[in-house]
Amino acid sequence: MRIGYFVVLAFLWASPGRADTGFLDRKVMLNGQTYAYQVYVPADYTSAKAWPVIVNLHGNGSQGTDALLPTVRGVADEIRQHRDRFPVIAVMPQCEMGKRWLYPDMEELVMKELDATVREFHVDPARIYLTGFSVVAAGS
């Protein structure tokens, strides 16, 4: 009986369209360097549906390499408090220390992380949105 239970659980876990959900750690390589970032995937994610994507650029003070600082303010906090209001995939890049989003390599980084998200999840290419606050509004 127990073996049958575990076989059923394994089958359900491996079913097509199933993916990890919540705030997920991801990495990309750019110019020989590894960059960590976060992707939020809603609990009801399925590849049977095309999902909108929000790319959320953090403000000044969240630069670094931990991929966590961009998830402690703004959109990430709102998602945690009201997950039902965010039927989206959210990409949360982290700008390198000492740089800003307008640097060409940071622009390339954001695009690389977005491209990786589009490849991994079933995304609606007509519904990709960019948001941010603080220095992002000035483009600096």
**CATH code of the domain containing 78:** 3.40.50.1820
pLDDT tens digits, one per residue of 9-53? 344 444 445 568 899 999 999 999 999 999 999 999 999 999 999
Strand partners for 131 = 56
What residue numbers bound the domain in which 119 lies? 19-138
Q: Which two tokens stand for residue 90?
A: 């959210």
Task: Tell me whether residue 11 is in a domain.
Answer: no
Percent of the chain predicted with pLDDT > 90? 64
Distance between CA atoms of 122 and 50, rounded to whole angstroms?
Answer: 5
Task: Tell me whether residue 64 is in a domain.
Answer: yes
Q: Which two tokens stand for residue 15?
A: 């079913």
Task: Tell me whether residue 96 is in a domain.
Answer: yes
Number of domains the chain is built from: 1
Task: Tell me whether residue 46 is in a domain.
Answer: yes
Q: Is 125 exposed, middle or buried (0-12, 13-18, 19+ CB in 10 A)?
A: exposed
CA distances from 130 to 8, 52, 55 (A): 40, 11, 5
Task: Tell me whether residue 1 is in a domain.
Answer: no
Task: Tell me whether residue 13 is in a domain.
Answer: no
